Structure 1
Amino acid sequence: MQDLLQIEIWQGKTVADVLTLDFLISAAGSVFAAAGILVLGWIISAWLQGRIRALGRKHKNLDDMLFDFLSAVVRYVVLGFAFLFVLNTFGVQTTSVVAVIGAAGLAIGLALQGTLSNIAAGVMLILFRPIKLGDFVDVGGKMGTVNSITLNFTELADLSNAQVIIPNAEVWGNVITNYSANPTRRAEWTFGVGYGVNLAAAEKIIRETIMADPRSKSDPEPFVQVNNLGDSSVDFLVRVWVEAGEYFVYQADMKRKVKEALDAGGIDIPFPTTTIVQATA
């Protein structure tokens, strides 16, 4: 019996030590201390997460999505340190735990390379914000409005309101065209008139028709000039600035209005013509 009591069972403690009142009190104290650390870590992490989120929503020029991500990172970091303190409370060597976690993380990383690349790209998208919620973008030939950006994928609503899911690695690794990044855009058209037309009169009709629309901006100065002498027409290149949100509808409206104005002014808009020369024997 005496030999059994001397067997070491935990952290240098023998059965006899475990049965002593002092050890039981010490173990109970460690349990209560660990519980207190966990509760305190949970409270502090939740408070920090809430404060960081509130900071992002307090200022309109700050991105809510970025602060949501940062708040989540801060919370998990605090909880991770709390867990390490708990292990220290029970006498566990945290250096070995960290080494085990590192080895496990390496194995998991090798098994989930594709997923982790999407997560890494998601972090870059959230931090550097080349696109934001509500932006109208073109990503690798996929065009639509950004509905959400998660750590794994970006969701777009295309022109027909269909849902388009793009892995973040493809978003970050592709050319991104953001049509909403700048407040204004420059609309551009080419209008062809006949060679027998009075070019000054045609230019006046085109300019007055476009600038009569309240969406057209006079600053910067609109550009209306003959740009090309085509096979069957003299081509005017027209460039006018407009609000980015009105670009597509505005560009379509002006094509129709200019066509109708040129018809009303008697300005010929020629069809493409082809002259066939037949050789005789």
Structure 2
Amino acid sequence: MNAPAVSPVLSPGSAVSPSKVVLITGASSGIGEATARRLAASGHRVMLGARRTDRIAAIAKDIQADGGAADHHELDVTSLESTRSFARAARERYGRVEVLVNNAGVMPLSTVDALKVDEWNRMIDVNVRGVLHGIAAVLPLMREQGAGHIVNIASVSGHRVDPTAAVYSATKFAVRAISEGLRQESRDLRVTVISPGLTRSELTEGISDSAVREAVHDQMGIAISASAIGAAIDYAIGQPLDVDINEVVVRPTAQG
């Protein structure tokens, strides 16, 4: 293993480091994969985390073949210890933890009266507890460094509630609330919420209700690519350290 490359500590108001160490959860597909590829192409060093280790290993290898800096580590965001292990691995590999992209999420939509309690709990565990675990894993490291950036992936469903999305929306409203509270408590930490609209990803495959899944698939003709979300994240983390892009909504032009 190569010796970790340590980024310089920059004072507020100075130009952003051209290369940051970025941790990405849920990096095996969709927005996470697209973000890893985009940020690596922009010169950042990325650490990919997901449960599908074969998949993130292949993505990291692709990035390296294209001249980017990437590594991977097994991650289950519902486990605090797994998330801490992911953060430690990134720090050991690269020397610092500068950005966390809390991307891992699930979206098993259903009406409330379907009483899919196990799916409700899964959404709470991944979408809310997973975000909190990510924050808990990196915040002490970022405080020690005197700077850091946490990017939380919410959704347009965190701004509005539609039928079948009550619980999913609740988790994404929670992500926005957690992010805003963390932002207000911080003077040396940047916090960004990215809220995607209809985006092509594997999220819809987790919908167990066939009627709901078909209805969602019927809407996906206008969906934007996951790379559009990666571009928004790239923009947010590329700002000078005294500029905090707090919230970005990215949706298809045709989405109502």
| Fold conserved between structures, TM > 0.5 | no
Query: Which structure has more RCO (C-alpha within 8 Å, separation ≥ 6)?
Result: 2
- TM-score using structure 2 length: 0.24
Larger Rg: 1
More strand by share: 1
